[in-house]
């Protein structure tokens, strides 16, 4: 365990997800061998989430239990047509109260919040995704085929409770619908051959190890005397900020990939079969780090970054907003993340960058008549995407006004300003 803790760099969320894998593997094995009935599978997943929350979050685990009980009460008492507004509204208010409490500790009391509270807030944000997605499915009538007889509350409420507290998705994504969850639990006993299952799991674990390992040379590079923040050299200054943002992004990629591992170990990650007949386990994924980093446009990067969350935001806000859907979506994302000063600025920059990218692409695309022009556009736009997203990551991840000052004192702040100028010039 000590070796795992050192390997995870003292990151409790990453460490607990590694510990989760054997229990998810045991669940899948028991279900595959027929030792768990459908109802017992739900109980295993729910009890595992209950124990995991108490062990990792201590007294703050009641944040999640309160949300889970509130969801059951709303499902039992409200008509499906009204449930989404109440669920999303109450859940966001509950989550915001705790985000404001963290800000009160940070900026007023000048205290470092308890790590267990931070872990509980992170899990609460993920629960907000699940319960709001579920409530919208109920409102839109997408679950009528899943539960044709809604008069029997007992068998219906148990899957709902399991969906909100299941341990594979408690500490990390990806987000999947309630219907996908129910179908996965039912079909675990008929999953593909063991070789495919173990091969996929091993591959994802190796990817996590690689992502964690990449962080160490990046850290050493930032500590070296070669790079200094606020250097008089423009290239050094920009390169230092870009490497710092890359290090922060590696943290996210490692978390997303280990979460995929836990879900795959539990047998929930099967997407189906490809054209060649091979099994596909990439249906429940927050995106590939390699594909995301290769994005040559800020708008494409936004869709690839934390993919299931991007789809959730698009469904919850973008498609339901009549005015300024792009800014409403990024504004809601800032609210969901906690409304720290750096987060508000970061998501505002991101919204302007995406809007500027749309205008620039619409303006330049008809002029890309030759192959060399297309390649030049792709290369320059990739570099521009990397540098503007670096500003967003620094602001959002560091959260405080210090990140804003760091951004404004760096030459890299020129690139978000260019995106804002594109909005007005083009």
Residues 245-275 have pLDDT tens digits of 999 999 999 999 999 999 989 988 665 555 5
* pLDDT confidence of residue 276: 54
List all residues 6 or more positions away from 10 whose beta carbon is below 8 Å from its beta carbon.
Answer: none
* pLDDT confidence of residue 311: 95
At what angle are helices 178-187 and 153-165 packed, to 10 degrees?
A: 100
Task: Indicate if 171 and 254 belong to the same structural domain.
Answer: no
* pLDDT confidence of residue 401: 80
In a domain, 23, yes or no: no
Of 156, 190, 224, which one is at a domain's C-terminal end?
Answer: 190
Of 190, 205, 234, which one is at a domain's C-terminal end?
Answer: 190
In a domain, 304, yes or no: yes
Task: Indicate if 119 and 260 belong to the same structural domain.
Answer: no
Tokens of 275: 């054209």
Tokens of 230: 């606020």
* Whole-number average pLDDT of the chain: 87
* pLDDT confidence of residue 409: 80
Task: Indicate if 129 and 228 belong to the same structural domain.
Answer: no
**Alpha-carbon distances of 251 from 100, 218, 241, 324, 420, rounded to whole Å:** 24, 12, 16, 32, 29
Domain that holds residue 115: 36-190
Under the banding of pLDDT at 50, 70 and 90, the label for residue 122 is: very high
Under the banding of pLDDT at 50, 70 and 90, the label for residue 153 is: very low
In a domain, 14, yes or no: no
Residues 21-45 have pLDDT tens digits of 999 999 998 998 888 899 999 999 9
Q: How many domains are contained in the chain? A: 2
Under the banding of pLDDT at 50, 70 and 90, the label for residue 278 is: low
* pLDDT confidence of residue 129: 97
Under the banding of pLDDT at 50, 70 and 90, the label for residue 148 is: very low
In a domain, 22, yes or no: no
- Is 381 known to be catalytic? no
Quickly tell me which residue has 């390169």 as its tokens.
239
Task: Indicate if 327 and 256 belong to the same structural domain.
Answer: yes
Task: Indicate if 129 and 40 belong to the same structural domain.
Answer: yes
* pLDDT confidence of residue 246: 94
Under the banding of pLDDT at 50, 70 and 90, the label for residue 152 is: very low
In a domain, 279, yes or no: yes
In a domain, 24, yes or no: no
Selecting among 82, 251, 337, 361, the annotated active-site residue is 337
Of 145, 170, 190, which one is at a domain's C-terminal end?
Answer: 190
Selecting among 20, 200, 263, 306, the annotated active-site residue is 306
Task: Indicate if 79 and 213 belong to the same structural domain.
Answer: no
Task: Indicate if 204 and 238 belong to the same structural domain.
Answer: yes
Task: Indicate if 281 and 263 belong to the same structural domain.
Answer: yes
* pLDDT confidence of residue 419: 87
Task: Indicate if 186 and 210 belong to the same structural domain.
Answer: no
Interval 218-222 mean pLDDT: 87
Task: Indicate if 223 and 372 belong to the same structural domain.
Answer: yes
Nearest to 333 by CA among 349, 113, 61: 349
Tokens of 255: 């978390």
Under the banding of pLDDT at 50, 70 and 90, the label for residue 345 is: very high
Bridge partners of 272, per DSSP, are: 280
In a domain, 353, yes or no: yes
What DSSP designation does 108 have? I
Under the banding of pLDDT at 50, 70 and 90, the label for residue 208 is: very high
Task: Indicate if 184 and 199 belong to the same structural domain.
Answer: no
What DSSP line would sit under 321-335, residue for residue? -SS-HHHHHHHHHHH
* pLDDT confidence of residue 151: 46
Half-sphere exposure of 339 (CA within 13 A, CB side): 14
Task: Indicate if 113 and 253 belong to the same structural domain.
Answer: no
- Is 271 known to be catalytic? no
**Alpha-carbon distances of 170 from 31, 47, 139, 352, rounded to whole Å:** 20, 12, 24, 33
Share of the chain above pLDDT 90, in %: 58
* pLDDT confidence of residue 267: 85
In a domain, 313, yes or no: yes
Tokens of 352: 């302007």
Q: Are 321 and 337 in contact (CB under 8 A)?
A: no
């Amino acid at each position: 365990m000590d070796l795992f803790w050192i390997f995870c760099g003292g990151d409790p969320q990453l460490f607990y997800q590694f510990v989760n894998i054997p229990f998810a593997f045991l669940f899948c094995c028991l279900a595959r061998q027929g030792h768990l009935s459908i109802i017992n599978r739900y109980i295993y997943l729910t009890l595992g989430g209950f124990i995991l929350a108490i062990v990792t979050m201590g007294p703050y685990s009641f944040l999640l239990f309160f949300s889970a009980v509130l969801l059951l009460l709303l499902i039992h008492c409200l008509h499906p047509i009204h449930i989404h507004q109440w669920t999303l509204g109450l859940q966001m208010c509950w989550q915001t109260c705790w985000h404001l409490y963290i800000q009160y500790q940070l900026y007023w009391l000048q205290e470092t919040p308890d790590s267990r509270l931070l872990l509980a807030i992170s899990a609460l944000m993920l629960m907000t995704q699940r319960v709001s997605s579920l409530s919208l499915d109920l409102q839109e009538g997408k679950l009528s085929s899943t539960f044709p007889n809604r008069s029997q509350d007992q068998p219906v409420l148990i899957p709902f409770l399991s969906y909100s507290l299941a341990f594979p998705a408690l500490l990390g994504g990806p987000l999947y619908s309630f219907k996908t969850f129910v179908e996965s639990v039912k079909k675990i006993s008929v999953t593909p051959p063991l070789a495919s299952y173990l091969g996929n799991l091993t591959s994802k674990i190796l990817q996590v190890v690689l992502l964690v390992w990449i962080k160490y040379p990046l850290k050493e590079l930032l500590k070296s005397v070669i790079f200094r923040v606020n250097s008089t050299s423009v290239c050094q200054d920009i390169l230092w900020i870009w490497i710092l943002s890359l290090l922060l992004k590696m943290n996210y990629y490692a978390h997303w990939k280990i979460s995929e591992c836990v879900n795959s170990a539990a047998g929930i990650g099967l997407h189906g079969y490809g054209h060649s007949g091979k099994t596909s386990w990439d249906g429940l994924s927050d995106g590939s780090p390699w594909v995301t980093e290769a994005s040559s446009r800020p708008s494409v990067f936004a869709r690839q970054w934390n993919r299931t969350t991007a789809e959730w935001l698009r469904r919850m806000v973008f498609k339901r907003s009549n005015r300024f859907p792009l800014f409403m979506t990024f504004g809601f994302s800032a609210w969901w993340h906690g409304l720290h000063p750096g987060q508000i600025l970061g998501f505002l920059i991101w919204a302007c960058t995406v809007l500027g990218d749309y205008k620039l692409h619409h303006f330049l695309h008809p002029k890309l008549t030759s192959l060399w022009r297309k390649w030049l556009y792709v290369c320059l736009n990739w570099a521009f995407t990397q540098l503007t997203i670096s500003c967003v990551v620094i602001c959002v991840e560091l959260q405080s006004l210090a990140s804003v000052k760091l951004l404004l004192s760096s030459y890299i702040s020129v690139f978000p300003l260019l995106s804002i100028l594109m909005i007005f010039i083009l």
